[in-house]
Amino acid sequence: MLHLRSIVPADRTDAVCSALAEHVGVTNVVVVPGAARSPEGDLVTADVAREAANEVLGALRGLGVDRDGSIAVEKIDLSLSRVADEAERRAPGASDDAVVWDELNRQTAEGAELTWAYLAFLTLATMLAGIAAITDSAILVVGAMVLGPEFASVAAICYGVITRNWGRIRGAVWTLTVGFAFAIAVTYLCALAGRWTGVINISALPADRPATAFIYSPDRWSFIVAVLAGAAGVLSMTAGKSSALVGVFISVTTVPAAGNLAVALALKHGSQIGGSILQLVVNIAGMLVAGTLTLLLQRFVWTWVLRRSAGSAERPTPHG
């Protein structure tokens, strides 16, 4: 269940309550007249089944509540309510299958923003990956994968494609490009400094790296893994399964490939530069394809569920 909190202009409170009452997935509607001061209006709260969230939010936007008031939605960790259980049961579909598009829009908007925090996390992850390449450490590779924030930008591109939000796509592509360029450049400079100061006491990356050779040796499995990870990542975001998203982070070798590329450039190890670039491109491409197709499939399936539910509701009940 989701908890809806809205500030509604007083002249639209009755209309909002009527809109909420029309949805079988809404319950526990509470109205506190004149409670809001900025903006002024009535406070209207309700518990909404996740499956009904898109329709409810669309109805409130249609009444201009988002423009003249306020709409906030938060997840309910625990709800002990018979009427809430019934509302969730009556709502079409299953909560884990429902995509709250406004929520996904907000999440992907953050992934399209180039911030110092984004650059810092991506740079630190790439530097860890560079150390992993030098020491052939699988543990550091996993750590770099988890630390990297790049999947948010990939998801933003996927969302932009299916909604034709070209601004979102441009922002996310810019964030990915600048982010990786900055992270690789910093790691490259650090590797050069380490080589000049003797911290890195090798002239080239080891030729035999059983634990991390996959980073610069892309094959058909690299693309397959990226496709699976892209689909799982989008599903974990839309269903709110954050624990599953961690599994996505440790499945793809975008950040490790970037770290290996930086160190290979610093140590002038030409044979691994091309492989690292190809690995990075293959992984991003695979996630983009899978993420976009997953969102399209989710939208199609959920539209079908709603139409089927509407058809069942309109079908007359036979009398014996």
Alpha carbons 185 and 65: distance in angstroms, whole number: 47
pLDDT, tens digit, 9 for 90 and up, residues 274-306: 999 999 999 999 999 999 999 999 888 877 776
Judgement on whether residues 62 and 210 belong to the same structural domain of the protein:
no
Q: How far is CA 62 from CA 2, 51, 309, 312, in A?
A: 20, 19, 22, 25
In which domain, by residue range, is 20 found? 2-91
Q: How confident is the model at residue 320 (pLDDT cuts 50, 70, 90)?
A: very low
Same domain (yes/no): 27, 86: yes
Q: Among 173, 174, 126, which Cα is nearest to 147's?
A: 126
- Residue 55 host element (H or E): helix 53-62
Q: What are the C-alpha distances in Å from 120 to residues 128, 217, 261, 293?
A: 12, 27, 18, 30
Please tell me which residue, 233 or 240, carries the higher pLDDT value: 233
Same structural domain, 259 and 226: yes
Q: 62 with 21: CB under 8 angstroms?
A: no
Q: What was the pLDDT predicted at 99?
A: 85
Residues of the chain above pLDDT 70, percent: 91
DSSP, residue by residue, 176-217: HHHHHHHHHHHHHHHHHHHHHHTSS--SS--S--TTTGGGG-
The verdict on 163 and 257 lying in the same domain is yes
Give φ, ψ of 78 to 5 degrees.
Answer: -145, 130
Q: Where are the beta strands (DSSP E) in the chain?
A: 2-8, 26-37, 40-48, 70-75
- pLDDT-above-90 percentage for the chain: 54
Lookup result for tokens 């299958």 = 97
pTM of the full structure = 0.85
Q: Which of 59, 91, 123 is the last residue of a domain?
A: 91
165 and 300 in a common domain: yes
Nearest to 95 by CA among 274, 233, 302, 266: 302
Whether 277 is in a domain gets the answer yes
User: Residue 71 belongs to a domain with what CATH number?
Assistant: 3.30.70.260
Residues 76 and 194 in one domain: no
Number of domains in the chain: 2
One domain, residues 154 and 245: yes
Considering 70, 91, 112, which residue would you say is the last residue of a domain? 91
75 & 162 share domain: no
Reported as a single tens digit per residue, the pLDDT across 62-83 is: 999 999 999 999 988 888 889 8
In terms of domains, do 188 and 292 share one?
Answer: yes
Residues whose CB is less than 8 angstroms from the CB of residue 95 and which lie 6 or more positions away in sequence, other chains included: 49, 50, 51, 88
Number of H-type helices and E-type strands within the chain? 13, 4
